[in-house]
Amino acid sequence: MKNSYSGAELISKAINDSGVETLFWYPGREILPLYHELKDSGVSIIRSSHEQCAVHSADGFYRASSRISSVLTSTGPGSVNAMMGLSCAYKDGSSLVLITGQVPTDKLGTDAFEEVDLLSMTSAITKKNIRVKDDLYREIRYSFSQAISGWPRPVHVEVSTDLFEQQYLSDFEYTETKTKTKLDIDKIKLAIKLINESERPLILSGYGAINSNSGNNIYSLSTKIGAPIVTTLPGRGIIDEDDNRGFGTLGVRGTNNSKIAFEKSDLLISFGVKFSDRTSYNLLGNPKKIIDVNLEKNQKNIEFDLSLIGDLNEIINNITIGVSRKSDLWINKNPMRKLDGISSSSKPLKPQAAIFEIFEKLKKEDIVVTDTGSITVWAHLLKKVHIPRTFICSHSFGAMGFGLPASIGAKLSNPEKRVILITGDGGLLMVLGELLTLSENNIDVKVFLIDNGVLGTIKQYEDTKFEGKYSFSLGKKDFVAISKGLGVPALRVEGKEEMKKGIRETLNSEGPMLLDIVTNPNEKVPSGGI
Ligand SMILES: Cc1ncc(C[n+]2csc(CCOP(=O)(O)OP(=O)(O)O)c2C)c(N)n1
Ligand SMILES: [Mg+2]
């Protein structure tokens, strides 16, 4: 039977029924009716310091858990601020639903106060963007199911402010239509044939395999056909990198082991790989055969010898049953090269020595989030990833300011796990308000600030390309005072012993803490991988 409900009631119920546990928002008059409906509805609500951060937090929530959350922002400027977060989630493949307020229906298209064409803006950075009209409950439920089906991507829903208080009849009926791609037996047979003919097969696993929880199945296939497993950057963790089958990352800043295995292999079998330019820069022109397995058709202009579209696990299992057993790994991995400077005691500290020391103290299941800059490179080179969704960075978009809000989302989706952030000073300065979000909500993120006083990545470039004419400064600031002023305990360390003690203290602290590690601005990230 249909009863009468306000638009805000319908949207709030749809958000709850879509399984949303946490919603990030920033206030605006136009969205208050929905906020007031939501706040006692069971969803946990976090007010971020900035709309960009609200979206990064929802993005981090998804990356660390594969569970969807939502963001609520207001008309005009409130929602334009969210565009950065949305771009990042879109490029990196994260599911979330952004609900934005819009001017009243009768003002649409009149250049009203705060009116801006949000749907045009988000059309390039969302999987779907819709303006809800009259079937609010169903349209919101549909938006959430779109965001999590297929390749994960954000969805934008725009609501004119008058709709929140308008009355509608609804019976809360919603039936999800799931389409499943039928298994193509002929292609499975062809894949089996190609693998049986191959002497040196190599498995490349991407973020799609993480989203499909395919780790165990990929491992079984690898064992049966003797194929090493290499991964993309976002695909790290599908195999424990300590395992003798895990050869590390392929592509930009990849491992030597993966590079050698790739060069010697005669067949590449890829699972859930986007083939971004970060992974495939050395793939084109290589004569080896490629079997690509993906949930959706790959948009990249790469010629595959065989492309299988559908449920990854179903495809992998059918291939594994059909292939002949081969002798074990056709190539063994070598010990990894140690990076220069990781044991250095020099003062100012080398950033790699500090990051190395932090990672030495972590447990396998701890979640590491990084911001963008030379710190991302150091962290990527120094971290061994053991478990999916425990190493998070803005891999395809490289957004500075992503780290702190994303780590908030990661912690909220994994309250039982330790979450640590590695950030640069430039990136942290962009999102300082999120320290207040940490302290106000007692969100237990350990913030490790690699404080080199410069935009390290830019300085390194200017040093090499512009004859050392590093031309600007990040200014004089006291991060400890700033952090404490925003309610997060903080400590500044300089020498090696001080740094080691500070890391111990931070990791053992109760609640959030910031460790300001002063490092050498002249240290350069190495070229290539390890
Ligand atoms: C939002 C944004 N603005 C600018 C850039 C370009 N950029 C990439 S890294 C970087 C410097 C980062 O500096 P910092 O956070 O201090 O880290 P460091 O490189 O010093 O370790 C800049 C400006 C970017 N990636 N994102
Ligand atoms: Mg810096």
Nearest CA to ligand 1 atom 1: 400
How far apart are the CA of 449 and the centre of ligand 2, in A? Answer: 9
Give me the pLDDT at residue 282, please.
63
* Residue 336, number of CB atoms within 10 A of its CB: 15
Nearest CA to ligand 1 atom 12: 373
Nearest CA to ligand 1 atom 6: 400
Three-state DSSP state, 102: strand
∠ Cα 81 140 395 (to 5°): 45
How far apart are the CA of 140 and the centre of ligand 1, in A? Answer: 36
Among the bound ligands, the one closest to the CA of 523? 1
How far apart are the CA of 473 and the centre of ligand 1, in A? Answer: 13
Tokens 């594994």 locate to 320
Residue list, ligand 1 pocket, CB within 6 Å: 371-375, 398-401, 424-427, 450, 452, 454-458
Q: Which atom of ligand 1 approaches the CA of 376 most closely?
A: 21
How far apart are the CA of 528 and the centre of ligand 1, in A? Answer: 19
Among the bound ligands, the one closest to the CA of 427? 1
Q: Which atom of ligand 1 approaches the CA of 455 most closely?
A: 13
Nearest CA to ligand 1 atom 3: 400
- Give 166's contacts (C-beta < 8 A, 6+ positions apart): 6, 7
What CA–CA distance (Å, rounded) separates 258 from 254? 7
Cross-strand pairs, 241: none
Give me the pLDDT at residue 464, please.
84
Strands (E), 34-120: 44-47, 70-73, 96-102
DSSP 462: H
Q: CB of 46 within 8 A of CB of 441?
A: yes
Nearest CA to ligand 1 atom 5: 400
Nearest CA to ligand 1 atom 21: 374
Q: Which atom of ligand 1 approaches the CA of 474 most closely?
A: 16
* Residue 242, number of CB atoms within 10 A of its CB: 10
What is the DSSP pairing of strand 167-170 with strand 3-6? antiparallel
What CA–CA distance (Å, rounded) separates 283 from 294? 18
Closest CA relative to residue 74, chosen from 123, 109, 119, 32: 32
Q: Which atom of ligand 1 approaches the CA of 452 most closely?
A: 20
- Give 491's contacts (C-beta < 8 A, 6+ positions apart): 480, 502, 505, 506, 513, 514, 515, 516
Q: Which atom of ligand 1 approaches the CA of 457 most closely?
A: 19
Among the bound ligands, the one closest to the CA of 518? 2
List the structure tokens of 476: 């004089």
Ligand 1 mutation target, pool 370, 372, 520, 525, most atoms within 8 A of CB: 372
Nearest CA to ligand 1 atom 9: 373
Nearest CA to ligand 1 atom 11: 455
Cross-strand pairs, 202: 268
Residuewise pLDDT in 10s, the chain (530 residues): 899 999 999 999 999 999 999 999 999 999 999 999 999 999 999 999 999 999 999 999 999 999 999 999 999 999 999 999 999 999 999 999 999 999 999 999 999 999 999 999 999 999 999 999 989 999 999 999 999 999 999 999 999 999 999 999 999 999 988 888 899 999 999 999 999 999 999 999 999 999 999 999 999 999 999 999 999 999 999 999 999 999 999 988 899 999 999 999 999 999 999 988 888 756 666 778 999 999 998 877 788 999 999 999 999 999 999 999 998 999 999 998 889 999 999 999 999 999 999 999 999 999 999 999 999 999 999 999 999 999 999 999 999 999 999 999 999 999 999 999 999 999 999 999 999 999 999 999 999 999 999 999 999 988 888 877 766 788 899 999 999 999 999 999 999 999 999 999 999 999 999 999 999 999 999 887 78
Sorted by where each starts, the structural domains of the chain and their CATH numbers stand as 5-168 (3.40.50.970), 185-322 (3.40.50.1220), 351-518 (3.40.50.970)
How far apart are the CA of 525 and the centre of ligand 2, in A? Answer: 12
Expressed in percent and rounded to 5, the helix, strand and coil fractions of the chain are 40, 20, 45
Distance of CA 508 to the CA centre of its chain: 26
| Amino acid symbol at 126 | T
How far apart are the CA of 396 and the centre of ligand 2, in A? Answer: 20
Alpha-carbon radius of gyration of the chain: 24
Closest CA relative to residue 7, chosen from 29, 33, 30: 33
What CA–CA distance (Å, rounded) separates 309 from 142? 23
Q: Based on the number of CB atoms within 10 Å of its own CB, is 1 exposed (0-12), middle (13-18) or buried (19 or more)?
A: exposed
Closest CA relative to residue 429, chosen from 397, 452, 395: 452
Among the bound ligands, the one closest to the CA of 430? 1
How far apart are the CA of 428 and the centre of ligand 1, in A? Answer: 10
Nearest CA to ligand 1 atom 18: 456
How far apart are the CA of 451 and the centre of ligand 2, in A? Answer: 6
Report the Cα–Cα distance between both ends of the chain, in Å, rounded: 64
Nearest CA to ligand 1 atom 13: 455
Ligand 1 mutation target, pool 381, 457, 459, most atoms within 8 A of CB: 457
Give me the pLDDT at residue 207, please.
97
How far apart are the CA of 461 and the centre of ligand 2, in A? Answer: 13
What CA–CA distance (Å, rounded) separates 503 from 357? 8
Tokens 């699972």 locate to 271
What is the DSSP pairing of strand 128-131 with strand 22-25? unpaired
Q: Which residues of 193-209 are buried (b: 16+ CB within 10 A; e: fewer)?
A: ebbeebebbbbbbbbbb
Q: CB of 203 within 8 A of CB of 218?
A: yes
How far apart are the CA of 457 and the centre of ligand 2, in A? Answer: 8
Among the bound ligands, the one closest to the CA of 378? 1
Q: Which atom of ligand 1 approaches the CA of 378 most closely?
A: 21
What is the DSSP pairing of strand 513-518 with strand 128-131? unpaired
What CA–CA distance (Å, rounded) separates 485 from 462? 34
Query: Residue 296 — φ and ψ, nearest 5°?
Result: -130, 165
How far apart are the CA of 377 and the centre of ligand 2, in A? Answer: 13
Give me the pLDDT at residue 287, please.
75
Tokens 């498995």 locate to 203
| Element containing residue 404 per DSSP (H, E) | helix 403-413
